[in-house]
Amino acid sequence: MSDTAAILTQDRQKLEMSALSAPAVVFTVAMIAFPVVYTIWLGFQTFSSTGKQSFAGLANYSKLVSDYEFWHGLWVTIALFVLSLVLQLVFGVWLALVLFHAKRLPGIVRSLFISPFMMPPVVAGMMWLVILDPSLGAANYILQSFGLPPSDWLASPTWVIPTIALIDSWQWTPYVALIVLGGLQSLPPSVYEAAQIDGASAFKTFQRITLPLLLPTIVTAAILRSVDLLRFFDIIYITTQGGPGNASNTLNIYGFRVGFEFFNIGYASALMLTLTAIVFGAVLAFNRLRGAVAW
């Protein structure tokens, strides 16, 4: 076969492969692109309470700048994000270390440790709603059994964010622990042997070797959790619906209510696109951090 014929055959094969895979590619792109493009388009529309629609240009975005609820929602979102992420990373690393070193821990105990994140968030929300009920819940009963004062938990404007952060951390810390455990198991044993020969204490070994080497894994876990935390919805909606008052009204909850309870889909789309931009920003920032700590 001449070179020209071989090239033509290769080109035909490529063409055939492209033609065969085109439907799947088009379908996938459409499935991703259509909702995004549609939401962007909706963000430029305004809907009256009766669903009447008209082009609004950038009105939804300019409204957003002067909307107190938006800024409040952003603040609540960030507060919940920071608090939950810190709790989950700190306790996730700790739990991973426990599981890593407790090699003789029975499988059932290991499974129990990681079971919360397998529970649907709606179920977790319902369960904690009952446990934390100030009148009927077990949490206050336990506190009072130890002579401690009861708490209003989810009904207190002051404590609602820490309480939701605790619920989310209860559920997702094991997930972070699993990721970190994977990172721990892949660390080179030679550096630990060298540290042992040099007489490094357990704390120094953790501080100077384990933690730096684990950082890329921890940042990966942080990225995964960040995306979820910024979009956090289910547990908040089940437990407080954004209350008491607006104390737990995250951007996601606010956007949902604007869209599906007040029927202003245009403004809700603008809110959600802004939140999407924030999520992208956070992921980009963490990606840069991951690049900086890579080894």
Residues that bind other proteins (CB under 8 A): 48-52, 133-136, 150, 152-157, 239-246, 257, 259-263, 265
Question: CA distances (Å), 218 to each of 178, 186, 215, 226, 270, in order?
Answer: 11, 13, 5, 12, 32
Closer Cβ to other proteins, 23 or 51, answer by number:
51
Closer Cβ to other proteins, 88 or 239, answer by number:
239
As measured in angstroms, the least distance from the Cβ of 51 to other proteins is 4
As measured in angstroms, the least distance from the Cβ of 171 to other proteins is 20
What is the per-residue burial (b if ≥16 Cβ within 10 Å, else e) of 147-157? eeeebebbbee
Phi, psi of 252 (to 5 degrees): -65, -45
Closer Cβ to other proteins, 18 or 48, answer by number:
48
As measured in angstroms, the least distance from the Cβ of 114 to other proteins is 30
Question: CA distances (Å), 269 to each of 11, 66, 160, 183, in order?
Answer: 44, 17, 27, 38
As measured in angstroms, the least distance from the Cβ of 168 to other proteins is 18
| Nearest CA among 229, 269, 260, 271 for reference residue 69 | 271
As measured in angstroms, the least distance from the Cβ of 135 to other proteins is 4
Q: Measured between alpha carbons, how far is 223 from 4 in angstroms, rounded to an integer? A: 49
Closer Cβ to other proteins, 241 or 276, answer by number:
241
Closer Cβ to other proteins, 63 or 110, answer by number:
63
